[in-house]
Amino acid sequence: MKSNLDVGLLENCAQIAKDIRNWLEKKDHPEHYKDVKDLELTRGFIHTLDLLETVLVRFEITAFIARQIFQAELSVTEDSLMVEFVQIDVEGHFSFNLLELCYELSNACQEIEKFERNDNTFSIFAKSPPKLGTIRLARHKATHFEPEQFEKLAIAKQYSILRRPYKVINGKLEKQLAGDTMPRVVELIKESVAESYRYLTLLREATIG
């Protein structure tokens, strides 16, 4: 079975996430922020770091499970995941999950920056955290059930969030050919992992350096 999911790149994402998490563990104790007089502020900051570490762990878990599944599925058996579900759906699950985790990381970074603005003792970034890429828009529109809005975006020419899209042609609904749509779905799966890797690489630069 040939997979559209680059498990090796996914594992690279997990390794970067682990490196950042290990780096954060050296900063998530109250003793580092004794100069801050507002204990509630310190408590909130440490809790935010705790949640950030939780998200980073999920990258590692996602990569581990993906590796187990796709190694096992090299020989498809009767009770295998690829018999129960369509391969592209399984691949999409892991690739889009990475985008969701990047979105959560971005939210956490924004919260940390709020603490920094309150007191520069909480400054942990070497430079500004990265911005999310455009591929995340596809995930956003898919999870918010807005395929029509996605189709208005420029990236819809390159990617598809629908496996079975229809068009109104001459007063009738006509299904688009899988040969036209599936390559764009596959491209989205591949680019989702690549964009997640780019985001994590930039986040590592903003934290570890």
Looking at this protein, which amino acid is placed at residue 153? Answer: L
Q: Give every CB contact of residue 13 below 8 A, 6+ residues apart in sequence.
A: 59, 63, 98, 193, 196, 197, 200
In a domain, 153, yes or no: yes
CA angle centred on 34, ends 29 and 35, rounded to 5°? 140
In a domain, 2, yes or no: no
Residue numbers of the domain that contains 93: 7-207
d(CA 201, CA 26): 20
The ranges of the chain with pLDDT < 70 are 1, 72-84
Give me the number of domains the chain comprises. Answer: 1
Bridge partners (DSSP) of residue 172 are 169
pLDDT at 75: 54
Greatest alpha-carbon pair distance for the chain in Å reads: 71
Bridge partners (DSSP) of residue 173 are 168
Looking at this protein, which amino acid is placed at residue 130? Answer: P
Closest-CA residue to 199 (of 49, 99, 92): 99
In a domain, 98, yes or no: yes
In a domain, 1, yes or no: no
The DSSP bridge pattern shows strands 172-175 and 166-169 to be antiparallel
Closest-CA residue to 55 (of 104, 113, 117, 122): 104
SS3 of residue 86 by DSSP: coil
Burial class from Cβ neighbours inside 10 Å (0-12, 13-18, 19+) for residue 88 reads middle
d(CA 138, CA 29): 37
d(CA 101, CA 108): 10
In a domain, 55, yes or no: yes
CB atoms under 10 Å from CB of 136, counted, come to 20
d(CA 192, CA 204): 18
